[in-house]
Structure 1
Amino acid sequence: MRSSQARVRVARVHADTGRTHRADTLAVEEPLEIRVNGTRLAVTMRTPVHDFSLAVGFALSEGIINSADDVFRVRYCQKDQGPKGLNPHTQAQPQDHPDGNSLTSDLAPPLGLGAFSGTESALQNTSDNVVDITLAPHVLPPTATVQRQLVVNSSCGLCGRQSLDEVHQNGCYPIDERSDFTLDELTVMGLPNQLSEDQKVFAKTGGLHGAGLYDVKTGKMLVVREDVGRHNAVDKVLGWALMEGLLPLSDKVLVTSSRASFELVQKAAMAGVPMLVAVSAPSSLAVELAKESDMTLVGFTRGHRCVIYAGEERIVPPATETDADVIDVPDDAANSL
């Protein structure tokens, strides 16, 4: 069973009380190789939970897939399996993978997302650091130019891109009139607090980024994911949404506990997210892409303040007494008061 946490023995040093020894909790970081049709696409450092959501969300962010119907199967690879993998169409139908890390709930989308393989009893014969996505027959595999044959650092989702022009692409789901909702300022400023309430591992380790999907209609967080990499946390959220058949996310807000970097805005745009709310600052390129995508981008969101960098029209001041409905009183009734 995989875990997002690890226990280590540490020495704590304080100027007044000296040195003490105790156990401490750390966030787990391990590499994940993502393959498409048996061929390596990328390697990323991640927290080893929700791997299938991460892989599918990564494929969505890269423009390889657009919906659950584009995926035939997602599975952990056999340890002795070559880089090309097995022909999925000659294998028995695999089972869902209950790995103890809430993957089971991830793997039951309403759309036709093939099958997810690797039963718990077969884990000894699989590598849970290698995930392979088998595309549906109608989907073209990625070309060599979009394959990133290197290790991607936890802090950067785009370091392996051959050029910035390749990333500056049109989203799979352009933001349209369905995203013309508004939120009041107080609601927006409170979103990071809602996110932090579900960051269970961060509360114990202080070492994970968080990302969540806020539903404008219900006023609730639909899903929260954590990872050592901020881009991985976002991919896990978007992968979950894809497998749940929720794309495009035209009435959702993506909330992140990190800065709003270019790659996070690009990932949100690929899923049709109209608003991105971040705890820290955006980059200049992130603001540029948000404006080009008609996305609302908010940074430095800290409970009592925020800064709107793009799409200001979606965020409105809270209602005041002067905005309340005024009850018309008849003249004769008014005179009797």
Structure 2
Amino acid sequence: MSRPGPISRYRVRQVSRGHERERRDDLATEEPLEIRVLAAGESRTVAITMRTPGADFELAAGFLHGEGVIAPGDVTAIGYCTDEDVLPEARYNTVSVRLNRPIPEISHLERHFVTSSACGVCGSGSLDALRNRCAPLTGPTTLTVTPEILYGLPATLRQAQGVFGRTGGLHAAGLFTPDGTLIQAREDVGRHNAVDKLVGWALLQGRLPLTGHLLLVSGRASYEILQKALAAGIELVCAVSAPSSLAVDLAREFGQTLVGFLREERFNVYAGAERVTPCSAAPPPPRSR
């Protein structure tokens, strides 16, 4: 069976201003991915998520890390599953992650066994549960960024979105240094999947924790995205759209900086304003009476 790609081609009828024609349209592929964990002769399915094929091993590793199932150094191998119970046409949609220790408790994921590309899996379920496995980002920070750097992040990320440029239907997550340099970017139909792919890349490259880096997501900032960023040690999260109320609560409690509505040289800082330097522009002159 051929391996699915990130782009699927269709013939469509295009209607515009009273005229119509048949043309080819490129769409972002969306297919299920089953994530399995292997250890000591045991195999367990952790989740099934809808995703855009590509960077599947990173997605599996990032998802498992974000949900507290694995830590850096736990993974010995990742591969597509060739078990007899997997149909040939599904083998590129099933990833097995082999651990060097027994499979940890994953009952907290059972009620989220199947997740869509839109909502993600919230394994913690609440801030109370998150407190049990993630420590706040305490202590002095060396990460500061200027408004001018933040202004330029969306355009830089957009230039790295090759599949979005062809389909217009993908989210993206980008990892940046404080001077605005793009380190890595990943795309997916789901915002949380794009973040998982990025964190999974860092885990497999031995780069975790990502202290001193910025994360930019192309959509809104949800609780799941802040949770995944916190688990990866990311201090500053930016989104081109709005954050949710629980995302703001999480950022404020755990010491993260959260920036929303980052577009057209403007943004809101919802938490951790100390990491964003004051504007360098001179204040407007006082109004005459």
TM-score by length of 1: 0.76
State the partner residue of 1:141.
Answer: 104
Letter aligned with residue 45 of structure 2: R
* 2:217 equivalent in structure 1: 256
Rounded Cα–Cα distance in structure 1 between residues aligned with 2:187 and 2:58: 12
Partners of 1:47 and 1:32 lie apart in 2 by 9
Q: Distance in 2 between matches of 1:215 and 1:162?
A: 28
Matched, 1:71 2:75: yes
Residue in structure 2 matched with residue 331 of structure 1 by the alignment: none
Which amino acid in structure 2 is aligned with residue 190 of structure 1?
Answer: G
Map of 1:325 onto structure 2: none
Counterpart CA distance in 2 for 1:293 and 1:267 is 13
Q: Where do residues 273-292 of structure 1 align in structure 2 (5 Å cutoff)?
A: 273-292=234-253
Aligned position for 1:131: 95
The aligned amino acid for 2:75 is V
Identify the residue that residue 151 of structure 2 maps to in structure 1: 189
Range with bigger deviation, 145-154 or 296-305? 145-154
TM-score by length of structure 2 reads: 0.88
| 2:173 matched residue in structure 1 | 211
Match of 1:61 among 62, 66, 69: 66
Give, in angstroms, the shift of residue 2 of structure 1: 3.3
Shift of 1:246: 1.2
**Deviations for 1:175-213, whole angstroms, at most 9, x for unmatched residues?**
244643210011112111111110110111011000010
Query: Which residue matches 2:118?
Result: 155
Shift of 1:61: 0.3
* Aligned residue in 1 for 2:226: 265
**Distance across 1 between alignment mates of 2:124 and 2:135:** 24
Task: Please say if 1:300 is aligned against 2:261.
Answer: yes
Shift of 1:158: 2.7
Task: Give distance in 2, aligned partners of 1:294 and 1:188.
Answer: 19
Q: What is the match of residue 242 of structure 1?
A: 203
* Structure 1 unaligned spans of 5+: 83-123, 323-337
- Say whether the 8 Å CA contact 1:225–1:237 is kept in structure 2: yes
Distance apart, 1:126 and its partner CA: 7.6
Q: CA contact under 8 A between 1:66 and 1:172: conserved in structure 2? A: no
- The DSSP-based 3-state class of the residue aligned with 2:186 is strand
Q: 1:184 to 1:162 in 2, by over 3 A?
A: closer
For residue 286 of structure 2, what is the aligned residue in structure 1?
none
Which letter maps to 2:46? L
**Does the residue aligned with 2:263 lie in a helix, a strand or coil?**
coil
Instruction: Indicate the larger mover: 22-31 or 181-190.
Output: 181-190
Task: Answer whether contact 2:69 2:106 (CA < 8 A) is retained.
Answer: no
Residue 125 (structure 1) shift: 9.1
How many residues get paired? Answer: 277
Secondary structure, counterpart of 1:316 in structure 2: coil
Q: CA deviation at 1:148?
A: 4.7
Deviation per CA, 1:15-34: give whole Å up to 9, x if none: x2422210010000000000
Is this contact kept in 2: 1:195–1:212, CA < 8 A? Answer: yes
Q: Percent identity?
A: 44
Shift of 1:168: 3.0
SS in 1 for 2:243: coil
Q: Hey, what does 2:84 align to over in structure 1?
A: 80
Q: For the aligned residues, what is the CA RMSD?
A: 2.4
Alignment partners' CA distance in 1, 2:180 and 2:126: 36
- CA-CA distance at 1:220 after TM superposition: 1.1
Q: Secondary structure at the match of 1:127?
A: helix
